[in-house]
């Protein structure tokens, strides 16, 4: 990989930057791992949450989410989880959707879906927590 190697088309600057042709280097890989690690304890809590609220009455469910510890942990799971699932679905789309138009459309829909899910959950938890 010396600079005299004529078969290598990459400039010294591009090698130093290490961002590759997609221009974002290892950020997708890294963020997937970062959110995955965060999701381990958070998802375990979420499973505890599901099992606890299953069959609870309206008042009991409200009171459960009204607990700040429950609300904040649930919010963390939603933020980390929604980001992780956006990254994952992006990878699935990039792997299987080959048409340029349908690929870009799917990638956009992925961002819209993840954003809507994230915001709807966060808004609902805020509304329940602040008791409006």
Residues near other proteins (CB under 8 A) are: 33, 36-37, 39-40, 43-44, 46-47, 50-52, 54-55, 58, 61-62, 65, 81-82, 85, 88-89, 92, 116-117, 120-121, 123-125, 127-128
Q: With contact defined as beta carbons under 8 Å apart, do 126 and 79 qualify? A: no
Q: Cβ of residue 117: shortest distance to other proteins, in angstroms?
A: 5
Q: Cβ of residue 115: shortest distance to other proteins, in angstroms?
A: 12
Q: Cβ of residue 129: shortest distance to other proteins, in angstroms?
A: 10
Q: Cβ of residue 100: shortest distance to other proteins, in angstroms?
A: 16
* Minimum CB distance to other proteins smaller for 16 or for 50: 50
* Minimum CB distance to other proteins smaller for 19 or for 109: 109
Question: Which residues neighbour 45 within 8 Å (Cβ) at sequence distance 6 or greater?
Answer: 73, 74, 77
Token pair listed for 115 = 């954003």
Measure the CA angle with vertex 56, ends 55 and 58; round to 5°: 125
Closest CA to 31 of 68, 84, 75, 69: 84
* Minimum CB distance to other proteins smaller for 20 or for 30: 30
* Minimum CB distance to other proteins smaller for 37 or for 108: 37
* Buried-exposed string 83-115: b where 16+ CB fall within 10 A, e elsewhere: bbbbbebbeebeeeeeeeeeeeebbeebeeebe
């Amino acid at each position: 990989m010396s600079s005299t190697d004529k078969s290598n088309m990459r400039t010294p600057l591009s090698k130093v930057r290490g961002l590759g042709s997609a221009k974002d280097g290892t950020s997708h890989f890294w963020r997937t791992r970062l959110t995955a690690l965060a999701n381990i304890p958070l998802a375990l809590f979420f499973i505890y949450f599901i099992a606890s609220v299953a069959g609870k009455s309206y008042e009991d469910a409200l009171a459960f989410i009204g607990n700040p510890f429950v609300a904040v942990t649930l919010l963390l799971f939603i933020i980390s989880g929604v980001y992780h699932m956006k990254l994952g679905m992006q990878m699935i789309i990039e792997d299987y959707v080959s048409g340029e138009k349908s690929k870009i459309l799917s990638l956009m829909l992925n961002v819209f879906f993840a954003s809507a899910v994230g915001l709807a959950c966060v808004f609902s938890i805020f509304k329940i927590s602040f008791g409006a």
